[in-house]
Structure 1
Amino acid sequence: MQYDDQDEFSSADDFSKTQLKREAAAMHDLGVKLVNMGSNTLKQLPLDEELLTNIKLAQKIANKREGYRRQLQYLGKLLRQRDTDDLLLAIDKIENRALYEAAHFHALEQWRDRILQQGDDGVQAFLDQYPHADRQQLRQWVRQAKKEQEQNKPPAAARALFKYIRGVTETTAS
């Protein structure tokens, strides 16, 4: 019997068996992660009613060894049938919230430092990014901050500038 390069069961876009197993294992691990989350965290995730019901059921039967294992398999199957990109993104945001907040804080500090160092050029760069900001208020804080620095006073104007920058960037992000 002679076989053709392309038989009736294969096509160019088929996944390998190993790839399918990896994806199934990833969805199983995602199911375990969901089951181990608290109810407040689950409320923040984009889960449909069927998934949420099965997650809660798995949480209830966690001490029943075989039932729990089967429920996790079923949960993995349900997850494989869905597009989980939004769910994974939401979980990442929840798990890495502190990292995102730290990065945002550092970006605000960089804006403040750039404005204070560059003066009007820094103010203009900030206004290019956030056009609804108040140029006059920014320039006033730059002048005050320079005066405070020359007089060795506490950096009250630099702090006020930071708070203003935070307010402007948060209203834009919302």
Structure 2
Amino acid sequence: MKRLFKNTLFIGILLFILFFVARFILRQFGLMFRAWINFIWLASSFILFIWGFIKFYNSVQNKIAKRVLSIITAVVIIFAVFPLPFPIGLTLAIDWAGEIGAFPTREDVIEYDGYKIVGYHRFAFWDSEVEFYEYKNSFVVGSHCLLWCYGYDYDNYDGHFYAYDEFHSFTIEDIVDNIKN
């Protein structure tokens, strides 16, 4: 067992699996991690996995196994990085990370009438999208999306935040009223 935890490849895979187990458990309670925790957890898992893979590759003595690992690594790098007309692997990875909330472009915590909501700005294909969630604490938010919209802005004339989609505009007060109910 002590040898397994010295293996960084094993630790990277274990952290990645534990991430989804923790997300599943939090989802059962109506919660999800904040974006900064997702980012740190996934980035550290990925770095440990790559570091462990490099150590594993350097420790392989069999020439045939080393060539097979080289071919697999080259195919993964070509799929992920080089344009085919665009980097398919990176595009899919970024889309997946955006779906689980790991990489929003911006996170805003808005307080109104004693209630806090968190707005995650995500870059979509043509527009930006904003998803609002109920603020729980510094580490988790509610898993139910209170409002999805294309953006929001503060109106200096009447002192309200307005969120808007294709057809409607909503005030942040409307979102807070949904939380209260």
Q: Same-fold call, TM > 0.5?
A: no
Alignment TM class, shorter chain as reference: under 0.3
Structure ID, larger Rg:
1
Relative to its length, the structure with more helix (as a share) is 1
TM-score by length of 2: 0.27
The two structures have a TM-score, normalised by structure 1, of 0.27
